[in-house]
Amino acid sequence: MQPIDRDLQTFLGGAFSAEVVDRLDHIRDGLVRRPPERREALRSNFRSLIDERALDLRSWAQMTDIDFDSLDDLYEYLEGCYAYFFNSAATYPEAPY
- pLDDT tens for 40-80 read 999 999 999 999 999 999 999 998 888 999 999 999 999 99
Residue pLDDT, tens place only, 30-40: 998 999 999 99
Q: What angle do CA 82, 61, 88 make, to 5 degrees?
A: 10
CB 88 within 8 A of CB 38: no
Q: Please, which contacts does 64-69 make with residues 24 or more away whose CB atoms are closer than 8 Å?
A: 64/12, 64/13, 64/16, 64/17, 64/18, 64/21, 65/17, 65/18, 66/16, 66/18, 66/21, 66/95, 66/96, 67/96, 68/96, 69/96
